[in-house]
Amino acid sequence: MSIEVEAQIAGSVWKIETSVGSDVEEDDVLLIIESMKMEIPVEAPDGGRVEEIRVQEGQAVEEGDVLVVLAD
């Protein structure tokens, strides 16, 4: 089963901290969104393997956009 990690706030992807195929633990930072001059980390809600990264650095995102897909 896959887990879709969504943006919790609108902003732009400042930095991607993981890569496809990486194993991550719960609460690992996957990427950082910049919004209103603040850097907001997006953390893994559960452990798993990064199956897909659907954004690129500098890309604008809206609340609810799927950023990363994890496979458990």
CATH code of residue 35: 2.40.50.100
Residue-range definition of the domain harbouring residue 15:
2-71
Say what the pLDDT of residue 72 is. Answer: 83
CB crowding 31-53: b at 16 or more within 10 Å, else e? bbbebeeeeeebebeeebebeeb
What does the mean pLDDT of the chain come to? 97
Count of domains observed in the chain? 1
pTM for the whole thing? Answer: 0.93
Residue type, 41: P
